[in-house]
A and B are shown apart, each in its own frame.
Chain A
Amino acid sequence: DSGVTQTPKHLITATGQRVTLRCSPRSGDLSVYWYQQSLDQGLQFLIQYYNGEERAKGNILERFSAQQFPDLHSELNLSSLELGDSALYFCASSVGGQDTEAFFGQGTRLTVV
């Protein structure tokens, strides 16, 4: 158990819908990262927050947004969902910035039908 909690574990939704994925980081960790992993693909970095502020951004679609709340949990919002958005979405957290090791949650498997 990494200490990073993601909910829900599985999500099935229709095209055009909007979903919210939730992440609780390890106790004491200030950074939260979101990654997308499509079937048999590598990890695609989406976004990082550090202590509530956006710190780094990858190729995150405009339909996707995220935020980190004062209690340091984070949410990833995916809207106008398309079939191609079906993937595993991972959250990770680290105590400091990107030069500190990150610990990953077990992911949310999103299926868009």
Chain B
Amino acid sequence: EDQVTQSPEALRLQEGESSSLNCSYTVSGLRGLFWYRQDPGKGPEFLFTLYSAGEEKEKERLKATLTKKESFLHITAPKPEDSATYLCAVPPNSGGYQKVTFGTGTKLQVIP
């Protein structure tokens, strides 16, 4: 069964203090890895898809990277508005009656 583990569960940063969130996965034959941001009471917002080891994608202060076993979401000089829960997810390896596996998320709080 596919497994996705995110760490840390919660992270508190001062504004401007860069850090990284980790998403480790156990899946045979990765078909992609998704990152989402979720604000309280809102639906997850899609951020990135990564498909192969070594791939990187950036959006404003966020950069996602992928290795063969894990993905990192780097946050550079975060602002209070970056406070949210960040989720990673992997699609099932093959067809059949399977589901996307979501991690439990990292709750990020950025303090002014």
Contact = CB atoms under 8 A, between A and B. Distances in A.
Interface of A: 2, 4, 33, 42-43, 45, 48, 55-58, 88, 90, 92, 97-99, 101-107, 109
Given A43-B87, A98-B91, A56 B99 contact: yes
Nearest to A6: B43
Chain B contact residues: helix, strand, loop or mixed: loop
B41 A101 contact: no
Nearest to B87: A43
A88 B97 CA distance: 24
Nearest to B100: A98
6 contacts: A2-B46, A48-B99, A99-B31, A101-B34, A104-B44, A104-B45
A103 to B, nearest CB: 6
Contacts of B46: 2, 101-104
Given A98-B91, A98-B92, A99-B32, A88 B99 contact: no
Minimum-distance CB pairs A-B, first 3: A104-B43, A98-B91, A99-B91
Nearest to B51: A99
Contacts of B92: 56, 98
Contacts of B32: 99
Contacts of A99: 31-32, 91
A58 B99 CA distance: 7
B102 A43 contact: yes
B22 interface: no
Contacts of A42: 102-105
A99 B30 CA distance: 10
Nearest to B93: A99
B102 A102 contact: no
Nearest to A41: B104
